[in-house]
Amino acid sequence: MLSGTSDSFRFFRFRGIQVYVHWMWFLWAFYQISTRNRAYSSIVWNIAEYLALFVIVLLHEFGHAFACRQTGGKADKIVLWPLGGVAFVQPPPRAAAELWSIAAGPLVNVVLFPVLMVVAVWSDSTGLSARVPDFGKFLYMVWWINRGLLIFNLLPIYPLDGGQILRSLLWFKLGRARSLQVATIIGFIGLPTFAFYALSRSSGSLIVIGLMVWFLGQQCLAGFRHAKALLALERVPRHVGAACPECREKPPQGPIWLCASCGHRFDAFATDAVCPHCQTVLPAVTCVHCGTAAPIGRWQTGSRGRAADGPVIDV
């Protein structure tokens, strides 16, 4: 569900990052704006408040995207959903790169916190807020929204930023797979705890909290399964003579790579990427650790790169 952008509108492009807005976002915005029209004297302020939320979420996501690029990772897409934004970031699989890519998002809210406070205080001290009460209330609400987003995102519930920061910190000690497993287990405990707390405080409707728990729970479960797969992969013997040109991980031994010409799976590193059944050469071999596809020659095996039409890998 997360990877699709077919339901989303292209909004704008900035420094190679395409921003999409999901159609449900408009529905949600309409609902939010129309149900809170008693907060201000005019609905225009509700719209302004919602747009401010939009900008804050966008800045947060750009924080993730630019930090990810700094680490040498890939980040070219941001999608805005009713329940928040998603920056599609692929940092190199290293603890420090992951940590910076995730931490930079909430860091944007940390920077905005005093900035928005100063603006609200300035408006109060100059009497502007007294003359235009709606404006004063608006400034306070924007500060409050940013604060709320910061607190929520820092909850240690995977896949929220707080949960992913926890995972990256654990990665330094426990390694890639085990850190993900521990972080997702903490997420499974934290998610119902958060839901009960939110419901007891009646700080959100049952439907919104239910949707959020379902959505976060699905992501947490996917993370847990990924951790299990990574742990299984760690136990498989490796080809010591080869290393991924991107993440430097050694490829596992075994019939993992698929020949698209004959449909057989074979060990690309045992045969120099030549299918033993039909002699077709894989044009690129995919890394099971980071997903990079590179010709076998780039895999530091000492062999030359080859090219052939037809086969694709499916791992």
> Does the protein bind Zn ion through residue 69 (CB under 5 A)?
no
Nearer to Zn ion by Cβ, of 139 and 166: the residue is 166
Binding of Zn ion by 176 (CB under 5 A): no
Query: Do residues 62 and 104 make contact, with C-beta atoms less than 8 angstroms apart?
Result: no
Distance of alpha carbon 188 from alpha carbon 160, whole angstroms: 12
Residues 196-235 touching Zn ion, rule: CB under 5 A, are: none
We find the least distance from the C-beta atom of residue 164 to Zn ion, in angstroms, to be 8
Q: Which stretch binds Zn ion (CB under 5 A): 129-137, 181-189, 202-210, 252-260?
A: 252-260
Q: Judged by CB under 5 A, which of 73, 105, 162, 187 binds Zn ion?
A: 105
* Cα distance between residue 252 and residue 24, in whole Å: 42
To Zn ion, the closest distance from the beta carbon of 43 in angstroms equals 29
Beta bridge partners of 9: 21
89 touching Zn ion, by CB under 5 A: no
The C-alpha torsion from 166 through 167 and 172 to 177, rounded to 10°, is: 160
The tokens of 144 are what? 């409050």
Provide the token pair at 278: 């039909």
Q: For residue 280, what are the contacts with CB-CB under 8 A and spacing of at least 6? A: 259, 260, 261, 262, 274, 308, 310, 311
Residue 132 or 243 having the CB closest to Zn ion: 243
Q: The sheet that has 8-14: what strands, in order across it? A: 8-14, 17-22, 74-81, 84-90
Does 244 interact with Zn ion (rule: CB under 5 A)? Answer: yes
Instruction: Give me the least distance between CB of 74 and Zn ion, in Å please.
Output: 13
Among 62, 88, 150, 161, binds Zn ion (CB under 5 A): 161
**254 to 313, contacts with Zn ion by CB under 5 A?**
259, 261-262, 275, 277-278, 280, 287, 289-290, 292
Q: Which helix (H) or strand (E) element contains residue 201?
A: none
Query: What is the nearest approach in angstroms of Zn ion to the Cβ of residue 214?
Result: 19
Catalog residues that contact Zn ion under the rule CB under 5 A.
105, 161, 244, 246-247, 259, 261-262, 275, 277-278, 280, 287, 289-290, 292
